[in-house]
Chains A and B, each alone.
Chain A
């Protein structure tokens, strides 16, 4: 939260030529599904908002985590607030009582905290107007040593004041119309940093010692682990203590990590500790490139480290094993020299914002997965890329599927394909913003009604305002993630993590983009393709426990038939790997002449599907008239007209069969034994059935005495 010098006239220029760029990118965004597209860089900085940086009296620019906007401190008595989505801004007079060290707006937006001096924090109540009324002043001058380091709005109507001697938690009480101290912790604090998204307070309690706290609703503060940083390199002089800028907190894959830029070794390291209540557990240290100053963001569960000196960035994925950077040392995609110069003063804002005060811009970092994937393909396997992408968060996964298809074209081993399919099937993401409020309420265990209400409203505005671009949606995830208490975030096992999510790329997509096109290619080895298909089906039904779409069964069927692998198909149907469907059944029956068992197999399948008409037809066509009739009777099939049986029997030329058919139908009241000229019951009048009655009489009516010519 460092204040910056007013940048002067060039700021406007800066804006002017960044805006079109923004346009361009936005446009590109909308067409990102297009298969081929000149890839510039895997990172993009999307301006989410701009503000006047050229105001003469601009003394400080603060990021407002609750609205993802900025709060400008103008001179000593005015504060400019940007509403959510940068819709509008208003200036508020806070009264002139000395310089403003810091100013923060409360989540609900009802209060404004202004740090006047190291001893005094004033809280003002504000409304739509420009004016503010002081609610109270918190003065800390008990002992001269203690100074207020800063303050943070933790929850709607809750406040934390951090001083060199500890921190205190205040809560607004509706009755006394002011903030009441609820709790205080004594501790020697050199400096602190607070991460509102995860509500983690990091306090420096020694040169290399950090203590972490987790803030909870209703002035709760769980003390978490204490970390003793151990720089790798030689610890001498300035290096021997960690500055605030060296410490970051990440929230990736539902877990919170403490990041520490260890500049002592060469190359410097980004050391990550898994945040827990007990002893710190060191998870991984990523080597960084060159010397310089590093800032870190998290985008889509990726850790983006930017070296603001060398203007290079790296991307790490904690799910990747090894400390290999996903994207190693790429240049920041900013062309203009001034922008490059500005990089040095970039402020990282949790999770993925970059604030450039002098340019009056707030950027949001975006990962261009397609470009990223393209880069990755250079030096890492298709499987790696796919698994990496599967963890990502994308709206249009088709290009992932293109990579899958590529893998198959390159003939990746079947096991590899299986490994690639599994994440594609199981990777799912959260359902969207609707469930976040409940999340909040669930977390707000016991609370005063109004604060509850305020939470609700605040969230709802937020939803209402934010329910737009994907980025906005991501905000909510961040919120949801942060909203849930840390234990939960930590405890959340990976399964749960997936459970509340939906599949990244559906079976239909995979079929349409990978299997079907490949199966159409005459040159593509179908044996291999089938193996892959089986792996996919296995992955679906074993790993993801999903029902396989019929189109896959049909494809398997077709491929096996194409290669005349009849026994295999036979066994697959037998063990229900290829599931029943009329389409498959027909394919089988069609092959019955080549591989006899299919006649039976297909027919049984139809029976299981209760496709009674088809069964009857098949039997009739096979000349198994009696079986057809028996089946029709046993299943009490009414849809097949009796005439079809009669006709078939008549055509067979077998008089006995005709009689049996006729009698059977007659017994079931589908014929009438009345005179031949009468129409037949159970049949549409005027149908040909009457004919059969007369045929029957002609055939069997009079006794045909054949004795004479049978014997000698």
Chain B
């Protein structure tokens, strides 16, 4: 695909609509709209909403006659639909318009529907992230409904998702979205010990900061939460380059307008990461230091606590986010059980003073760690296009796009997507440990491995070597860098 022959117009995939509904709320046919908690975009007329939701319900019932699991995905000629029961009775519905390529062949135009990056597995993880994000700030649908009225619920959902959904670019979904993994800071044992003692000192001096989380740019340095799964939604919110662009009621608009709170995270495999931005300021002028969540001006008494809910039980926390020199970002969810009077202006002043001092001394360490690791892995990163994910600690690592030399062509990215989908489908039917293919069009080798909880993908573009040589290459790589993957 994408061979420039002939003139063709390309329209990327886009969101058709997104809905949350609970069939049990509609007593009768004419009250069908009662079950709809959210329908985005709101421009869709009521009866159409009812139709679509009704269909979804019908599909669920239909599939239930055959399989214990309800319908979770629908493929049509023009759309992809993902369905998921996020809370008992509450369904989330994501419908995506396929991208199209309109080519003019022999006079009349041919419209081709493309499923780039719209594999079920990827869309599902997008949907789940949308759900996790909501839970992070609002705990859950049912508990809102129990506390407030349906109208309030609708309002909250509307507010949240009208802010959240535009963030997602359905035109370029890939494995980054599928995994939504965590980049771990690369540190020597010695410097990690320093991080450790800093964290201890922090919790020692501020006893209520029990679960500090420290980022260096978008790299995770320390996770003080009970599990990585608990961290995941928070992580993807904080490191999302969209966060902070527009006011979302959580982060202070203390940065220059349109400035993300953390800019360094990759959004697409096809974009080249500019690693320079890690080592020096992304823009000239003073780097920002201060509270991203917390008091806007230190010493100001009016601190509006931002609530988040963590873990499977959705335990309430008050969020504090402090950034130093736009390098280190400390994220601290404070259990709401802590007495709120702790959040005094004095406390925030002390905290910022503490962090300014300690983190500025730590930052160079982290930068060095990054630099040295970068030099260490430079060979691998330049010579191998790899992508690695470990579901056990959500660790994610890729060389793709980190250098000019390692950017992938769209079709290879798609190939990776399909392969991942195949692995994801593994739980049903024929599970696969390894798949390697040579694409007929571009003569590229793509190797995918899944061992236990890890996935590793390697791409060798334009290689005229055989399977055996490729296998040797893979061996070389895995032994050198990911020896745990057999």
Contact = CB atoms under 8 A, between A and B. Distances in A.
B35 interface: no
A222 interface: no
A627 B184 CA distance: 28
Contacts of B223: 567, 571
Contact of A634 (B184, B204, B228, B486): B486
Contact of A604 (B184, B192, B484): B484
Contacts of A604: 484
A418 B196 CA distance: 13
B197 interface: yes
Contacts of A413: 204
Contact of B197 (A538, A596, A627, A634): A538
The 3 closest A-B pairs by CB, nearest first: A538-B193, A597-B392, A575-B192
A630 B453 contact: no
A596 B393 CA distance: 10
A541 B223 CA distance: 23
Nearest to B220: A571
Contacts of B224: 567-568
Interface string B203-238: 010000000000000000011111110000000000
Interface string A383-413: 0000000000000000000000000000001
20 contacts: A531-B200, A534-B196, A538-B190, A541-B189, A542-B193, A542-B194, A567-B227, A568-B224, A570-B228, A571-B222, A572-B196, A574-B184, A595-B227, A597-B228, A597-B392, A600-B392, A601-B392, A607-B483, A608-B483, A627-B451
A371 to B, nearest CB: 34
A414 interface: yes
Interface of B: 184, 187, 189-190, 192-194, 196-197, 200-201, 204, 222-228, 390, 392-393, 451-453, 483-484, 486
A467 B32 CA distance: 101
Given A574-B184, A600-B453, A414 B193 contact: no
A447 interface: no
A418 B198 CA distance: 13
A537 to B, nearest CB: 7
A610 to B, nearest CB: 11
A572 B195 CA distance: 11
Given A531-B200, A600-B392, A631 B486 contact: yes
Contacts of B393: 570, 574, 597
Contacts of B190: 538, 541-542
B226 A414 contact: no
A569 to B, nearest CB: 12
A218 interface: no
B486 A627 contact: yes
Contacts of A542: 190, 193-194
Contacts of B200: 414, 531, 534
A352 interface: no
A566 B223 CA distance: 11
Contacts of A596: 392
A607 B478 CA distance: 14
Interface string A102-125: 000000000000000000000000
A574 B451 CA distance: 19
A543 to B, nearest CB: 10
Contacts of B201: 414-415
B197 A534 contact: yes
Determine which residue in B193, B197, B226 has the highest number of CB atoms from chain A within 10 A of its CB, and name it: B193
Contacts of B484: 600, 604, 607
B17 to A, nearest CB: 36
Given A534-B193, A567-B228, A630 B392 contact: no
Contacts of B197: 414, 418, 531, 534-535, 538
B179 to A, nearest CB: 16
A575 B483 contact: no
A414 B200 CA distance: 8
Contacts of B227: 566-567, 595
B453 A541 contact: no
Contacts of B392: 596-597, 600-601
A97 interface: no
A379 interface: no
Interface residues of A, number: 34
Nearest to B184: A574
B226 A577 contact: no
Interface string A560-603: 00001011101110111100000000000000000111001100
Determine which residue in B194, B196, B223, B451 has the highest number of CB atoms from chain A within 10 A of its CB, and name it: B196
Contacts, number: 73
Contacts of B194: 538, 542
A597 B197 CA distance: 24
Nearest to A564: B226
Nearest to B454: A600
B210 to A, nearest CB: 11
Nearest to A607: B484
A631 B452 CA distance: 13
A656 to B, nearest CB: 13
Nearest to B186: A575
Contacts of A630: 486
Contacts of B184: 574
A566 B224 CA distance: 10
Nearest to B484: A604
Contacts of A577: 189, 192-193, 196
Nearest to B189: A576
Nearest to B200: A531
Contacts of B189: 541, 575-577
Contacts of A600: 390, 392, 452-453, 484
A414 B204 contact: yes
A541 B222 CA distance: 20
Interface string A515-544: 000000000000000010011011001100
A67 B453 CA distance: 74
A571 B186 CA distance: 12
Nearest to A598: B392
B222 A566 contact: no
Contacts of A564: 226
Contacts of A634: 486
A575 to B, nearest CB: 4
Contacts of B222: 571
Contacts of B228: 567, 570, 597
Contacts of B226: 564, 566-567
A608 B484 CA distance: 8
Interface string A603-630: 0100110000000000000000001001
B484 to A, nearest CB: 5
B453 to A, nearest CB: 6
Determine which residue in A414, A577, A627 has the highest number of CB atoms from chain B within 10 A of its CB, and name it: A577
A534 B184 CA distance: 21
A538 B193 CA distance: 6
B450 to A, nearest CB: 12
Nearest to B199: A568
Interface string A463-476: 00000000000000
Given A538-B197, A574-B393, 12 more contacts: A534-B200, A541-B193, A567-B225, A568-B224, A571-B223, A576-B189, A577-B196, A595-B227, A597-B392, A600-B390, A604-B484, A607-B483
A619 B225 CA distance: 30
B116 to A, nearest CB: 32
Determine which residue in A567, A572, A601 has the highest number of CB atoms from chain B within 10 A of its CB, and name it: A567
Contacts of B196: 534, 538, 572, 577
A538 B198 CA distance: 12
A567 B212 CA distance: 12
Interface in A504-523: none
B51 to A, nearest CB: 39
Nearest to B228: A567
Contacts of A567: 223-228
Contacts of A414: 197, 200-201, 204
A600 B225 CA distance: 19
